[in-house]
Structure 1
Amino acid sequence: MELNRKLLACATTAAELVNIDHVTIGIGFTAVTTSDGGIGIAANGVALDGCCAGNVDIVDFEGCPATDLLQLIMEPAPMARTMALATINALNHRQALAMPEDPGNAILFDRFGIRSDARVAMVGYFPPLVYLFEKKGVHLSIIDDTKGLGNKKTFYDQLDGWADVLLITATSIINNSTETILSHAGPDLKTVLLGPSTPMIPKAFAGLPIDMLAGSAITEPRQTLKIVRHGGGTRALKPFTRKVYWLAA
């Protein structure tokens, strides 16, 4: 939960200056827009069956101070944290747009030596990266609870000695597992937090063994909102975002 507190602290000043315009909850992603033109997304950390069945009370945050929605990053409900993370990304939208790009994953692959015979541990199944890794002959160990992949004990043991690089989906922030995963990291392990949900706020990760943030900066807000409304996923969002990154010194 310390990461949640840091994200809250980093975004509070910006949140005090703006209101929430719209909250859009799709099947795969949630999007939030703010009164200063910001937009952010976060992957839904839970299935929406209950929501679709009308079993969830709706709280209308639209028109409210962004601080109201931001506070939910400390709540126990995953969907509340999803909305809060999308808000954090909306508040950081302009800063993310100014970050350098890595459209073809060249920085990711070259900086961390991901080539033939490299050993990569992956939290969250990323089909495009899995395809590239397998093509390069990279040794993979994957854990993904939603897909029933991997054994946690075996996976965590591999983070100290076996794996060269650890890739963690930013959805781990939503299910509060980021810090637990990192607690198993060995001293030589290189770690990347990635995916469209990634908050591109390096200060929030101070003190954690994160070597790279690899996220998305939205370039076409209207198209992004349409895709979220229509239940689109990462592949559909890709043409309307830029892959941006930050590297630790």
Structure 2
Amino acid sequence: MLLNKTIKPSKILEETINYVKNGLNDIIYDITIERAVIGIFFSGVILNTGHAGISATPIKEIPEAVCCPSSARSMPNAGHLTERSVDRYLKDATSNIPMKKAMGIAVLSALSSYCREIGLTEDYDMKVGVDALDCVDLKDDTYPVLIGAIGPFLKVLKSRKKPFSVVELDTKTLKPDELPFYVPPDKTGEIVPKADVLVITGTTLINGTLEGILEIARPDTKVVVVGPTASILPHAFFKRGVDILGGDIITHPQKMLDTLAEGGSGYHLYGHSAERVLVTPKSPGFNP
């Protein structure tokens, strides 16, 4: 089973962390967490540099979230999040504790934004205000596979009235007319190699299943990774065959965290405190 609830190490995260540390060098030791929020759907941070980052809140990955004593073990630093060093958060990004890992990814996302500002973007292109899902070319004979119930893309796939598959851990997130296309997680290894287009939720970074999925995709498959959790630097994604990365850029950090603290989702962020971004490898004639 490739898609499951077991938290696994992520080479993509490890390599991105190393890239950020090397890029920022000693500057990273002067960076601190100014504010941190854990929301219902997403969690985010603001650095003392003014840069912000975001990640999905992995509520479903925390079976202990049913009583106070066990929930405390899932996020042991609550109340002291701004007192922790950036380096500690980056270590957490490779942790096997889902909530700590998510907060580590949010910090990595904020640091990635800082890296872009200082020019570490020489080998990829980024277009702000472009939804990566709008750049997915679906011909009549294209067989798409969706990893995660990504609502907007499910709507597009259903409107085509063509076959597709969606692999999802929680069937309750699927509407009745989407259930006929459902593939259980233990069939991931069978369905992914059939995909002409493979769209993967960025939350696979949190449970560490992304690399395993990418490994079994065909070389000619168009691979797209999307979602706020995928808002980190793209190099390690492209190295593993991802063609398009669709994340977010935070335009109004404090407003973004205020929205998350009030239970906001992505729909409450876009056009107000965040914008979607399309990230692709920089190469002549590249066509997303």
For Structure 1 versus Structure 2, the TM-score category normalised by the shorter chain is 0.7 to 0.9
Structure 1 residue aligned with 2:212: 180
Residue 32 of structure 1 corresponds to 45
* 8 Å contact kept, 1:96–1:217: no
Tell me, yes or no, if the aligned pair for 1:34 and 1:66 is still in contact at 8 Å. Answer: no
SS in 1 for 2:245: strand
Residue 54 of structure 1 deviates from its aligned partner by 2.5
2:168–2:184 Cα contact (<8 Å) kept: no
Partner amino acid for 2:230? T
Equivalent residue in structure 1 for 2:239, among 191, 207, 215: 207
Partner of 1:159: 192
* Residue-pair matches, total: 245
The residue that corresponds to 1:88 in the other structure is 108
Which residue pairs with 1:243 in the alignment?
A: 276
Q: Does 1:198 align with 2:230?
A: yes
For residue 129 of structure 1, what is the aligned residue in structure 2?
153
How far 1:152 moved relative to its partner? 2.9
Match for residue 43 of structure 1 among 42, 50, 56: 56
SS in structure 1 at match of 2:198: strand
Q: Which moved more, 1:179-188 or 1:94-103?
A: 94-103
When residues 153 and 17 of structure 1 are mapped into structure 2, their CA distance, relative to the original with a 3 A threshold, is: same
Cα pair 1:217 1:241 within 8 Å, conserved: yes
Q: Give yes or no for contact 1:39–1:89 (8 Å, CA) kept in 2.
A: yes
CA distance in 2 between counterparts of 1:11 and 1:192 reads 23
Of the structure 1 ranges 29-38 and 218-227, higher mean CA displacement relative to structure 2 is found in 218-227
Q: 2: CA distance between counterparts of 1:75 and 1:114? A: 37
Partner SS for 2:58 = coil
Aligned to 2:183: 150
**Structure 1 residue runs without a partner (length 5+):** none
2:87 is paired with a residue whose SS is helix
Distance change (3 Å), C-alpha of 1:95 and 1:117: farther
TM-score (norm 2): 0.77
Question: Separation in 1 of the partners of 2:116 and 2:170?
Answer: 28
Alignment deviations for residues 183-228 of structure 1 (CA, whole Å, 9 cap, x no partner): 2111211111111111341223253111111111111222211221
2:132 and 2:246 in contact (8 A); partners too: no
1:75 to 95, 111, 129: 95
Letter in 2 for 1:5: E
Change over 3 Å in CA distance of 1:52–1:23 after alignment to 2: farther
Tell me, yes or no, if the aligned pair for 1:117 and 1:137 is still in contact at 8 Å: no
Supply the distance in 1 between the matched residues of 2:89 and 2:132 (Cα, whole angstroms): 33
Q: Which residue of 2 aligns with 1:3?
A: 12
SS in structure 2 of the partner of residue 92 of structure 1: helix
CA deviation profile, 1:118-149 (whole Å, cap 9, x unmatched)? 21111111111111222233432101113365
2:234 pairs with 1:225? no
Q: 1:244 is matched by which residue type in structure 2? A: V
| Cα distance in 2 for residues equivalent to 1:246 and 1:166 | 16
Q: 1:100 deviation in Å?
A: 0.9
Partner residue in 1 for 2:5: none
Q: Secondary structure at the match of 2:254?
A: helix
Aligned to 1:31, what secondary structure does the other structure show?
A: strand
Is the alpha carbon distance of 1:82 and 1:176 closer, same or farther for their aligned partners in structure 2, counting shifts above 3 Å? same
Q: Deviations over 1:150-193 (max 9, x none)?
A: 22343322222x31111111100100101111121112111111
The answer to whether the 8 Å contact 1:116/1:137 transfers is no
Aligned residues: percent identity? 22
Say if 1:128 and 1:40 are closer, same or farther in 2 by CA, change over 3 A: same
Compare relative contact order (CA 8 Å, sep 6+) and give the higher one, 1 or 2. 2
Q: Secondary structure of 1:132's match? A: helix
C-alpha distance in 2 between matches for 1:37 and 1:51: 32
Q: Distance in 2 between matches of 1:106 and 1:49?
A: 31
Question: Structure 1 residues 203, 130: CA separation in 2 closer, same or farther (over 3 Å shift)?
Answer: same
Which moves more between the two structures, 125-134 or 88-97?
88-97
